[in-house]
Amino acid sequence: MSAEAPESASDGAGGPPATGDAAVDDALAGLAELDAVPVTEHHDHLARAHEVLRTALEAGPGGEPPTGGH
C-alpha cells in the first residue's frame, strides 16, 4: 500500500501541495518562489527543477529506478 499525500496538503505557507517526496517538494517550492528570483536566473532554477522532476518520474513509485531488462 502506498502512502500518498492528500491533494489539499501543502507546506502550510500557501505553497505547492506536498507530494511526500522531499526532492520533488523542494523542486516545486523553488518554482513557487520563482517570481522572487531575477529573470536572468530563471533558466537555472527551471533546469534544476526539470532534472529533479524527470529523475523522480523515471524512478517511479517507491523511488526505484526502472530495470533495463527487456
pLDDT at 12 exceeding the cut of 60: no
Round the average pLDDT of the chain to a whole number and report it.
79
Nearest alpha carbon to residue 32 among 24, 66, 40, 6: 24
Instruction: Grade residue 17 by pLDDT with cuts at 50, 70 and 90.
Output: confident
pLDDT at 45 exceeding the cut of 70: yes
- Let me know the angle formed at the C-alpha of 10 by 35 and 62, rounded to the nearest 5 degrees: 105
Instruction: Grade residue 11 by pLDDT with cuts at 50, 70 and 90.
Output: very low
pLDDT score of 66: 59
Backbone phi, then psi, for 32, in 5-degree steps?
A: -65, -25
pLDDT at 6 exceeding the cut of 60: no
Distance CA(39)–CA(23), nearest Å, equals: 23
